[in-house]
Amino acid sequence: MTDLNTPYVFFFGQAFTVAEVAEKLGISPTQVLNHIADGTLGAINVGRGATRRDLRVTDEALDAFAEARTVAAAQAKVTAKLSRPKNKPAIAGGYAERRAARKQKERQQ
């Protein structure tokens, strides 16, 4: 039988919300939820069951996810070659510019 007065010991340092993980990885919260759903990113449900899920991702799970998805140097070179050329500027008023303006506005509030 378990003693209810014994404190529970957590084996992780920090837990992040889905939004925090999305911000750290530079992806959308929906993509984070998809990674959790397919099992590539571990999460803890701290909510009240399946209908009121409130997920947290531990720092260890986030580290394991990043390590498992790290690409080799040769593959990174190929990806870099496929990216936008350096001499071609980003589209004025494009997504990146709008996102940066939105994030700056959020920080000021």
Residue 24 has pLDDT above 60, yes or no: yes
Residue 42 has pLDDT above 80, yes or no: yes
Give the residue-averaged pLDDT of 82-107: 73
Instruction: Answer whether CATH 1.10.1660 is correct for domain 15-108.
Output: yes
Domain ranges (residues) in the chain: 15-108
Residue 96 has pLDDT above 70, yes or no: yes
Q: Cβ neighbours of residue 16 under 8 Å, at least 6 residues apart? A: 24, 56, 57, 58, 59, 62
In sequence order, what are the beta bridge partners of 57?
Answer: 16
User: Six-digit token pair at 6?
Assistant: 């014994």
Work out the number of other CB atoms within 10 angstroms of the CB of residue 32: 25
Work out the number of other CB atoms within 10 angstroms of the CB of residue 64: 14
